[in-house]
Structure 1
Amino acid sequence: MSDFNEQDKKLLAMFGMSEDQVRDDVTRMESEEADHGITGPVHYGLHMLPENSEEMVSMTIKLPKSQLEAVTAAAKRYHISRSEYVRRQLAGAI
């Protein structure tokens, strides 16, 4: 049985794609370990790992406005906070 309805099949035909190709693409894109050029490996928690019960503290830094905008945009792409993005950058995870 096909996962695709008739409308899906028409759209696939319009773009010259097969059902198998779509399934393969979905598997590749949903992998949290594959580096497929859209996102990299997913790193969960980092500073929030259970074995790390170290107290979190705040740190204030000054950045040029353009750099802050770039950090904000990158964090939005990863769907994480700016703080989490900067922590991951410092940890070398992104």
Structure 2
Amino acid sequence: MVESQQPTTQFLTPEESADVDKALLSSPEKFLTRLTISSLRLLQQIAKDTGVAIEELTHQQVIDWFENDGKIRREQGIEAAFLKW
């Protein structure tokens, strides 16, 4: 079961965002960098919830996790789901 996201859970902290802004990267590279950092956080949560090391996660486990989080959102409301969208 997916744990609820705490209000303090952030996929990209203000400090990380500022560091990306300061980096000598193009706009598309900065976007991809932010996405990658955020994806790492999400993969860490998926690995924790599934009890599998990140490097051992399969694409199907990631899909299953997203399906489960969506089901929780639909059945219990947005606050019960990990992803708040």
Please state which band the TM-score falls in when normalised by the shorter chain: under 0.3
Of structures 1 and 2, the one scoring higher in RCO (CA 8 A, sep 6+) is 2
With the length of structure 1 as denominator, give the TM-score of the two structures: 0.23
Rg larger in structure: 1
With the length of structure 2 as denominator, give the TM-score of the two structures: 0.25
